[in-house]
Structure 1
């Protein structure tokens, strides 16, 4: 009996067997977070590829840095939910015949975007409002907003702004590489400046405000951006821009202007166009080939040239690139621009517009399939999920919502 009592006492005092350990979920990876986020790019030049022989938006096309970087398989691998698909026409002569040719080409480019969507309704959907993005992404489709880079095709007929708005254009930039009828360009250093917006450019800003379009200050001279801020009833976006503090190029903006845009509620989307990220010098062989190309096509406008001449020029340019590749910037330099902008104005005013298929892309981020690297780096820099969501889409959608709230006409039915 005593031995039984001792055994019972020892059993009562002995340690209990450990309970089965509760399973602890693995921490979410940067790639998993990236896949959950709504990821948009503010400047996709991909529509320029839609009519090219051999390009298929549904296929995994061989990547070409700067010109073939976006298609559905790459978007899926990179977690890119969509963005603003660009209607771009290069600057040509400022006369009625050239305006008409550019207008026809711009409407054709918009038609190509609309056709891409209608041909693949299971994969793409047009977006018109700020609320459309999340709804479309939830269906697994890619989001297709439209934007105009360079309002040159509008000519002097501002009724065309509504024509493009009704098609789905929601971002509009007045100018590109050269001064035009609307505004001064950052990269046109001729003496014929307006000193910012022209009177017609001021009317363009008012019409964009009336319709509920977001104004894009990319490519605009600082004086033009100043005028746009002063006149616009809603903030500006710069859809693809770098910072002068990292590389002092006319196309980039200084910290003072960066703060001014942010103080007005605007957003700056950082690009990945190597020539704006750092000084890149072509090899002597490439420069000689480019000089020869310029001589061969001297005096020929890309707007008024016939299709055969344009195709011949592009084929010659491809030959030059294949024989003498252009110098490349790097992912680290891209992140240097982004990190500086974030340090100056914070994540409420920064996003990404890499200029895909329009010359953008860098070593280490050659196409959109590499986008999770940006999320990974931002996490490593200490930014929160909420910050990163703003950078990827929240800021630009907030701007679109503000433009919608301020517009003076109802959405088309």
Structure 2
């Protein structure tokens, strides 16, 4: 059996959903400096990535708001700003990380010893009713997008909200066609079962669930049932296995308040950021958000691989977006996954598929 640490360092390791751009504009926070969870909430930076994570899809996230022209305009401005922040960050550290839009880009950057930065959109709410804006974001390097987040919007029903469309809206169906035309990967995470079913039916290219789990381990609407995981695989798609909803979510009023503050962390002073981390850690010690640990994660991951097949699973832990469980708190723990998968009988070819091959295949097929 190969040495797990050495193998993990050699592999191109990608995560399908990295919320870390939320930190790029923080006063006093630097992507090229190592941050520790003892006094910072970020789960990923370049020093912690080195040897642990080659890169992935950095997310342009916009919170859901009203379905009005005014709100759409504000959301679009926010999404454009986040895209610029990603550009500026990558430009500052071009010797260590580079933008990628194709499989060839990822392979080249990895061969050069640089990290890989794809770009995605979580929640297409900011495009409002103008599907032409997808081409704008495609032009800025976005190669994956999901229609919806935690609340139903103009495109699709959310898995965690009341249905309005019984799947996709008419605009959402047109969105699928435009995504296919542009060669962008459709991300079905957060979509309701009915919306997932319709996207699977309509899309001419395989789907990705960038950060989703299995109801076969924990029954929650954000997770996918085993029959739908099999249907995803049958159409060539990939599920990015996540660390969230391995258990019930303990979202107390205090935790919800901290999450709201986290959403505006770029507006906080350095001292306010430290206070946020202190309060977050104190709450973790007394009322953790998830009652799950690394062993639960591995059990659920192995179940998902058995159901989907080795060609249809990748990784999407939801780092910096609410992910992480006991024993698996940030990207420095990722080599543990490789070690455990080797011990479970998977070989290097299997691990290459799981860590990047499957995700890159779907990207190539979409284009």
- Same fold at TM > 0.5: yes
Change (3 A) 1:143 1:345: same
- Paired with 2:15 and 2:128, the residues of 1 have a C-alpha distance of 28
Contact kept? 2:41, 2:277, Cα under 8 Å: no
- Paired with 1:270 and 1:319, the residues of 2 have a C-alpha distance of 29
Name the structure 1 match of 2:2.
28
> Where do residues 12-411 of structure 1 align in structure 2 (5 Å cutoff)?
28-63=2-37, 67-78=41-52, 80-188=53-161, 190=162, 192-273=163-244, 276-281=245-250, 287=252, 289-290=254-255, 293=257, 320-325=279-284, 326-327=287-288, 328=290, 329-404=292-367
Q: What do residues 197-230 of structure 1 show as CA deviations (whole Å, max 9, x unaligned)?
A: 1000011111110000000000000100110011
- Paired with 1:312 and 1:102, the residues of 2 have a C-alpha distance of 28
Name the structure 2 match of 1:15.
none
- Paired with 1:64 and 1:268, the residues of 2 have a C-alpha distance of 31
Contact kept? 1:66, 1:359, Cα under 8 Å: no
Please report the RMSD computed on the Cα atoms of aligned residues, expressed in angstroms: 2.5
Deviation at 1:363, TM superposition (A): 1.5
Deviation at 1:321, TM superposition (A): 2.2
- Paired with 2:336 and 2:312, the residues of 1 have a C-alpha distance of 20
Contact kept? 1:289, 1:320, Cα under 8 Å: no
- Paired with 2:270 and 2:154, the residues of 1 have a C-alpha distance of 28
Contact kept? 2:185, 2:366, Cα under 8 Å: yes
Q: TM-score, normalised by structure 1?
A: 0.82
Q: TM-score, normalised by structure 2?
A: 0.92
Deviation at 1:308, TM superposition (A): 6.6
Deviation at 1:53, TM superposition (A): 1.8
Change (3 A) 1:338 1:388: same
Contact kept? 2:43, 2:329, Cα under 8 Å: yes
- Paired with 1:383 and 1:31, the residues of 2 have a C-alpha distance of 15
Contact kept? 2:21, 2:60, Cα under 8 Å: yes
SS in 2 for 1:41: strand
- Paired with 1:29 and 1:102, the residues of 2 have a C-alpha distance of 47
Contact kept? 1:66, 1:356, Cα under 8 Å: no
Q: How many matched pairs?
A: 360
- Paired with 1:309 and 1:57, the residues of 2 have a C-alpha distance of 17
- Paired with 1:242 and 1:313, the residues of 2 have a C-alpha distance of 33
- Paired with 2:168 and 2:238, the residues of 1 have a C-alpha distance of 20
- Paired with 1:28 and 1:120, the residues of 2 have a C-alpha distance of 33
- Paired with 1:234 and 1:258, the residues of 2 have a C-alpha distance of 16
Contact kept? 1:171, 1:216, Cα under 8 Å: yes
SS in 2 for 1:131: helix
What residue ranges of structure 2 are gaps of 5+ in the alignment? none
Contact kept? 1:65, 1:367, Cα under 8 Å: no
Deviating 4+ runs (over 3 angstroms):
64-67, 287-291, 307-320
SS in 1 for 2:177: helix
Q: What do residues 42-80 of structure 1 show as CA deviations (whole Å, max 9, x unaligned)?
A: 1110000101122110000122699411111100041x1
- Paired with 2:40 and 2:270, the residues of 1 have a C-alpha distance of 18
Q: Which moved more, 1:316-325 or 1:138-147?
A: 316-325
Change (3 A) 1:30 1:279: same
- Paired with 2:267 and 2:44, the residues of 1 have a C-alpha distance of 26
SS in 1 for 2:50: helix
